[in-house]
Structures are given as C-alpha cells and as structure tokens.
Amino acid sequence: MRRLLTALSLCLLAAAPALAATSRPGWVESELYGFNHPLAQAQPAEVATKMDKMAVSPFAFYRGTAHLFYRDMANLPPSAYLNTATARVWIDGDLHLQNYGGVRDSAGNDVFDISDFDESYIGPYVWDVRRMAVSLVLAARELGFSQTDQNSLIDQFVDSYLNKLGDFKGTDDEKSYRLKAGDLSNVAKDVVQKVGKKNRSDFLAKYSAVSGGVRRFNTDASLVMPPSATAIGAAMPAYIASIASGKRQPAAFYTVKDARQRMGSGVGSLGRARYWVLIEGATTSADDDVILEMKEMGSSAVALANPGGLPATAYGNHEGARVAMSNKAGLTNTDPLIGSTTINGKDFFVKEKSPFQQDFDYTALKGNLGNFKDTVAAMGKILAKTHALADQDYDSALIPFSQDKQITDVVVSTSGFKAETRAFATDYADQVQLDHAALLAARAAGRPLY
C-alpha cells in the first residue's frame, strides 16, 4: 500500500498509461491450478463444473477468476484519481453484471441491489469501478454491441455512480436510499417486479415436499445428501450466537429439519461447500419453513492486492464473519438471518435462501442499447449507495472517512476519470479474452488446471 500511495503522489493528475494485453498461457494455467487444486481435493466434481462453466465465454471466465484480476491489480498502474482516503473504501470486490439482482429486504421492500459480497474487503474504490467496467465490455462484446456502445455504457455507469455520490455528499440520504420498481425501467424494473410475484409456498414446493406433516428436501443432482448432517447440526449454536441478540429468534425457530449439499451453483464459488438447511421457522406449520444457505468462504481475492487492508481482527479472523459484516455494511434492511459458523474447521457464511429474490440475466439486454444503459445507470447508483454506506457511517474505526465526499472530491475531472476507466476496461477485457483462450487451449491439450 505504501508503494501504491507513493506512486499516486507522483501521478495524481496524470492519465494512467494504457495496458497492453499479453498472451500468458503458462501464468494463467499456473494460477488456475494453484487456486483450484486445493479445492478439488474435497470437491473435484464441483471444480470440474467450474471449469466447464468458465469455458463457455470470456464473461463466464471473468466471473470465476477474481483472483487473477487482483493478482493484476497488485502490479498494474494505479488510478490517477486516488488518495489515502479513497484507497480505503469497503468495496464489493467482485462487482460484475450478475452480482446484481432483485430481492425483498427485511422491511418488505422489493429492491434492485448488489447480491453478493463474498469477496468484499477494503481497497481502492476504483477496483469496484474497474471490475464492473470490464464486465460491461465483456458482456457487450458477447451480445454484439460496438466499441462505441461499450464506451457509452462505461460512461453511463461512471456518470451515474459519481452523480449519486454527489447527491449523498453532505447528507445521510444513503441510509434510506433504495431502488424499487417505480424507480427503475426496462430490464431492472422487470427483475424487481418478478420478486413481487414470488411466494414462499411455491419456493418450498420447488425444493422440498411434505410427507406425514413433515417437510423434507427433495434429493436430486442439485441437492444431495451432505457428508455429515451431524456436523451441520453441530454448527447451528455458533451460527445462532453470531446473530445480534436484537434480531435473534426464539430457539425453536432454528430447529433443523433436514439438510442437503447444494451442487453446481455459481461460478467463482464452485469448489467450496454449500449447504441448504431446512429449519422450522416461526411456527410448527410446514408452510413457513425457512431454508438457510451455508456457504464455505475463503479469504477475499482483494487481499491478494491489498493484504491486511481489512484487519483480520475486525472479523475475528473468520471469513464467514467477514462476509456477514460486509453485507451489513453495504446494504440497508439486511437479512436478519445473516450470520456465520464453522463446519469441520472451515468458515461458513449463513443467510436465508430467500424465496423473494430474482437473479439478473444480462443476456436480456441483447439488441437494445437503451435498455442496457438504463440498467447500467441503476447499477452505478447502487454502487454509490454501497460505498457511501460502508464508511464512517458503519464503522469509523475501520473507515474514518465520509467516502461520498472523499470520492467526489478526488475525481477532479469526470471526463478524465471516464477516459481512464474506458481505457482500462477495454484493454483488460482484451486480456481476459486472451486468458480465456489459454484456458480453452489447456483443456484441449489435456493439461491439468486443478
């Protein structure tokens, strides 16, 4: 970090140099193997599925390789729009198009928001902006949009992000800010409206069945018997204790009725265990049962580029607790069932697998630049809200700054920041395409990637 800030002092107002995409198959293969081989010892089929998913497209590859991005961030030139304060932002860490979605928050609002904080950590705010901008380029290329269109999408995202931060500056508006269906248009609006059409009964019926008055999970290729249901049950007291006492339900609420291991879900997280746990809920009726998702967590990829940026003491040296804390920092009206626990020595993040959530499908944006730009505008506003919330408002000991002020002040030229972001995103998307080609070549040649 000291080297980063020294470099920044020399180039604060200079445009960051363009990056040259380089074919580096040996490095890509080594990094993929080094990251995934330990995971494959316990979950070989899941890691094989991960490789299959990443092979589909550069965008999918990008989703599964946040560790490559942050290996590069440790060495690539920093932004010209950065200072000491804005190098200490609580970032999402793995921002891309499909880490947004629709959800019903704990206050009953159906909203559009960031849906994943698994890599969340402290680092320069530009890492979120850049990672998102690269995903825009990769998705836009896949969907057939021109370079001019790609640039306009990045500009839309950056403008929306900076403008909303400006709105928050000097106020506490970020604490109540949300995007509901009436605040959205086109695809993002459709996502939120779909949340409003969902119900718990249909959700439970999709994954479970009632026999003799007792609900149990279905068993199929996506929900298999866990290695140890006993270990899952033994992890519940620590999970319950991780929930703030004011949000904790009576003990009977958390009674475990059944458990399964969830297979094939996600991309980057494949290879780490994911369990679904059916618990009693508010009453003994099978109609209000709740599904918890317990997801194994490793260290944040952001720490590869900013080691110690979020002190381990802040989250008890428990990666599940880090993710739980990050959700609380970056969201309003968070899931009251968020918590953490340990299973067989591994850290797990716990939340409700909500019946009221809708994933965002970026392929719905194909063929309509206006829809794409509207959606990107909403995403920029949400990122601004997240960065503004997760600052001194949440924990002044960790982030002793008002980041809405700090970021808007450090971006002394909006046009310059947009130009820098466009250049980075275009060049790094080229790099991702070359890295994806290296994956395909290694698979075709039968070289081990895990």
| Residue 116 and residue 381 in contact, taking contact as beta carbons nearer than 8 Å | no
Q: What is the pTM of this model?
A: 0.94
What is the structure's pLDDT at 19? 76
What is the structure's pLDDT at 13? 33
What tokens appear for 326 in the block? 């990050």
Q: The tokens 């040996």 sit on which residue?
A: 26
Which ranges of 208-301 would DSSP assign to H, the alpha helix? Answer: 229-242
| Residue 73 and residue 154 in contact, taking contact as beta carbons nearer than 8 Å | no
Residues of the chain with pLDDT under 70: 1-18
Q: Which amino acid is at 318?
A: H
What is the structure's pLDDT at 73? 98
Q: Where are the domains of the chain?
A: 2-195+362-445, 200-357
Indicate if the alpha-carbon torsion angle 261, 266, 271, 274 is positive or negative. Answer: negative
What is the structure's pLDDT at 351? 98
Cβ-in-10-Å burial (0-12, 13-18, 19+) of 118 comes to buried
pLDDT per residue over 245-285, tens digit each? 999 999 999 999 999 999 999 999 999 999 999 999 999 99
Closest CA to 122 of 296, 298, 297, 311: 311
Coil vs helix vs strand at 42: helix
| Residue 94 and residue 274 in contact, taking contact as beta carbons nearer than 8 Å | no
d(Cα 450, Cα 448) in Å, to the nearest integer?
6
Give the 3-state secondary structure percentages of the chain, helix then strand then coil, rounded to 5.
50, 15, 35
What is the structure's pLDDT at 407? 98
Q: The tokens 């009726």 sit on which residue?
A: 285
What tokens appear for 35 in the block? 């990251």
